Amino acid sequence: MSARDVYEYALLRVVPRVERGECCNAGVILYCRARSFIAARTHLDEARLLALDPTVDLAGVRSALAAVESVCDGGVGAGQASGDDPGRRFRWLIAPRSTVVQPGPVHTGLTADPKAEAERLLALLVR
């Protein structure tokens, strides 16, 4: 059996109209400190989102989700966060915000493969 490490994750929710409190899961951010791993996986169900709000800015939502992925990937695409370690980027991404794309609460688990776990969580909780 492979060594299993603790990981933390948060769902990315799209809340097109905050006053209505409705949301659509659109991604997951996973961080594993033991492996210095951070990743975001996203999938936007546009039909579901448009059912909640036909006037939602789909291009803006796609752009916000891509920005989260870029921050997780690091490098030039992460902007000012490019020099931050994975833990600091995760904490910044999961900080509460009042925008259309919001992080949900943080949960934990154990995994031997953080990359595969991110894909599993995306399939289970988003797709």
Residues in contact with 106: Cβ distance below 8 Å, sequence separation at least 6, in sequence order: 8, 9, 10, 94
Secondary element (H or E) of residue 27: strand 24-32
Q: What is the pLDDT of residues 57-96, one digit of tens each?
A: 999 999 999 999 999 988 777 677 777 889 999 999 999 8
Backbone φ and ψ of 93, nearest 5°: -70, -30
How many alpha carbons lie under 13 Å from residue 7 in its C-beta half-sphere? Answer: 26
Q: What is the pLDDT of residues 15-32, one digit of tens each?
A: 998 888 899 999 999 999
- 124 to each of 29, 70, 118, how far by Cα in Å? 14, 23, 10
Q: What is the mean pLDDT of residues 9-19?
A: 94
